[in-house]
Amino acid sequence: MREPVVSVVVPTRDRPERLERLLISLAAQSLGGEAFEIVVVDEASGPATAAVLDRHATGTGTGAGAGAGGHDDAPRAAATAAAGSAPSVRVLRHPVALGPGAARNAGWRRARAALVAFTDDDCRAHPDWLRAGVEAHRGDPGAIVQGRTEPDPGELPAGLLSRTVRIERLGPQYETCNIFYPRALLERLGGFDEGFGLRPGGEDTDLAWRALESGARAVHAPGALVYHAVERLGIGGRLREATRWTATVRIFAEHPGTRAMLTRRVFWNVWHYLLVRSLLALALPPAPRRVLITRHAIALRRRAREAGAGPWAIPFLVLCDAIELGALIRGGLRYRTLVL
């Protein structure tokens, strides 16, 4: 029985409709189902996700992850896929959610291929995704391969209360919605650091920078295209999203090279820089204070307009920036580094 060329690892939790779209897109890969396998790690999802996985799975396993005594029916999965051109789909089930780092570790450790492709359950793959990623890997076998990610065109436009991902060049965050790692590199590094917790918080960026600092290379494969969902968060969801960045500050403490992605090597983005500048301007005389705050307000109005919102959105944007700033300050105190 031939080993797969690439293993696709997908962590999932309670996104049944999106997961189904992803699995359908993977089944349509031009690489051919006999050349790859899919390993889905279910993070204690509900019945709707279980039903999707039952429809697609050729093998299942249970347990807390790799090395935890969980059952994995890899031989049956491979034999089932070998009977036709469909890829093998294996499911590992975690009875409790352990977080994205732990889920991905469980997946790649059960994978059979020498190349591991990571994507997420809120994505769908272009038919040539795996083919392009494998070709880039063959051109530089020891390197990390980062693909191109675009907002799903069927879900645009992305508005003020939406979240999506766009990756058009190599790095610096190396998001696991679309990235390929040689298994040998994952083994050498020990995989993802599971200490980042239950929410996505930079474990993918940390892994890539540990790899680069150890001498690994990274290449960009624009033909390896994934479409990322445009998720409508709502007001409450957008505010909750702003609280998630505390653990991410750890990356900047442990990998100084990542500061190149910050505005002025300190600020999370230009909006935080403008907010802090406006706050500091309150201590200035009236004329310079008015100039700096007015510039901030003009920039915010342009930001709201580009998101399809009116001036009413400006206070909401400032509130989101302030919440993010607070989360980063908490992280800075925890990890003893300055990120604003």
67 confidence band (pLDDT: 50, 70, 90): very low
With vertex at residue 17, the alpha carbon angle to CA 16 and CA 21, rounded to the nearest 5 degrees, is 115
DSSP 35-99: GEEEEEEEES--HHHHHHHHHH-SEEEESSSTTTT-EE-HHHHHHHHHTSSSPEEEEEEESS---
**The length of the chain, given as a count of residues:** 340
Q: What is the pLDDT of residues 229-238, one digit of tens each?
A: 999 999 999 9
Burial (CB count within 10 angstroms: exposed 0-12, middle 13-18, buried 19+), residue 175: buried
Q: Torsion-angle region of residue 40: left (phi > 0), alpha (psi -120 to 50) or beta?
A: beta
159 backbone dihedrals φ, ψ, rounded to 5°:
-100, -170
Q: What is the pLDDT of residues 126-169, one digit of tens each?
A: 999 999 999 999 999 999 999 999 999 999 888 899 999 999 99
Q: What is the pLDDT of residues 26-38, one digit of tens each?
A: 999 999 999 999 9
**pLDDT mean over 280-301:** 97
Q: What is the pTM of this model?
A: 0.90
For the ranges 60-69, 71-80, 258-267, the one whose mean pLDDT is highest: 258-267
Half-sphere exposure of 279 (CA within 13 A, CB side): 11
CA distance 23 to 44: 19
Q: What is the pLDDT of residues 176-208, one digit of tens each?
A: 999 999 999 999 999 999 998 787 779 999 999
Asked if residues 252 and 337 have their Cβ atoms less than 8 Å apart, the reply is yes
Q: What is the pLDDT of residues 92-103, one digit of tens each?
A: 999 999 999 999
Q: Between 243 and 64, where is the model more confident?
A: 243
**pLDDT mean over 108-131:** 98
Helix (H/G/I), strand (E/B), else coil: 155: helix
Q: Which residues contact 141 (CB under 8 A, 6 or more apart)?
A: 182
CA distance 204 to 158: 24
With vertex at residue 133, the alpha carbon angle to CA 128 and CA 139, rounded to the nearest 5 degrees, is 130
- What is the amino acid identity at position 1? M
Question: Looking at residue 281, what is its pLDDT?
Answer: 98
Any idea which of 11-15, 299-303, 308-312 has the lowest mean pLDDT? Answer: 308-312
83 confidence band (pLDDT: 50, 70, 90): very low
Q: What is the pLDDT of residues 42-63, one digit of tens each?
A: 999 999 999 999 999 886 555 4
Question: Looking at residue 75, what is its pLDDT?
Answer: 40
Q: Cis bond leading into 157, ω under 30°?
A: yes
Question: Whose CA is closest to 192, among 99, 331, 123?
Answer: 99
Asked if residues 255 and 335 have their Cβ atoms less than 8 Å apart, the reply is no
Q: Quick one: CA dihedral 54, 33, 168, 260, positive or negative?
A: positive
Asked if residues 109 and 67 have their Cβ atoms less than 8 Å apart, the reply is yes
What is the number of helices (H) and of strands (E) in the chain?
12, 12
Which domains does the chain carry? 6-232 (3.90.550.10), 260-335 (no CATH)
DSSP 141: T
